[in-house]
A = this chain, B = another copy of it.
Amino acid sequence: MSAATVFRVLADPTRLAVLENVIRQEMTVTDLTARFAVTQPAISQHLAVLRESGLVLHRREGRLVFYRADPNGLRPMFRWIDEYRAFWQERMPRLTTLLREMKDE
C-alpha cells in the first residue's frame, strides 16, 4: 500500500469522518449511518474502501458488523513522512525518533 493510496482514501470528507468515528470507538454500520447525511449503501461503500486499504478491521456478531480503525493502516503515511524527515526536521528538530517509532513498530 503506497502513501498516495492512503492519501486518496483519506481524501473524501465523509470517508475521513467515518474513519474518525471508528477510531473513537468500534461501531456498527447502522451506528455510522445514523451519524451521516448519506444512505447506508454509501457508508458501506466507504467502509469497503477503508477495508481494502487496510485502514479498518471488522468482525461480525450475528447480523451486526462492527468496524474499528486499524492503527497499522496509516503506516504507509508515517513511512512517507519519515522519508522526508530531514525536510520537516529543519523546522521540527526533535521529529526523528518519533517518526522512527511510528514507522517501525
B-binding residues in A (CB < 8 A): 2-4, 7-8, 10-13, 16, 20, 23-24, 69, 71-72, 74, 84, 87-88, 90-95, 97-99, 101-102, 105
B71 with A87: CB separation less than 8 A: yes
Residues of B within 8 A of A84 (CB): 20, 23
A10 with B16: CB separation less than 8 A: no
- Judged by DSSP, the binding face of A is helix
B71 with A90: CB separation less than 8 A: yes
Given contacts A94-B101, A101-B94, contact A12 B4 (CB under 8 A): yes
A23 with B91: CB separation less than 8 A: no
Shortest distance from the beta carbon of A59 to any chain B beta carbon, whole Å: 18
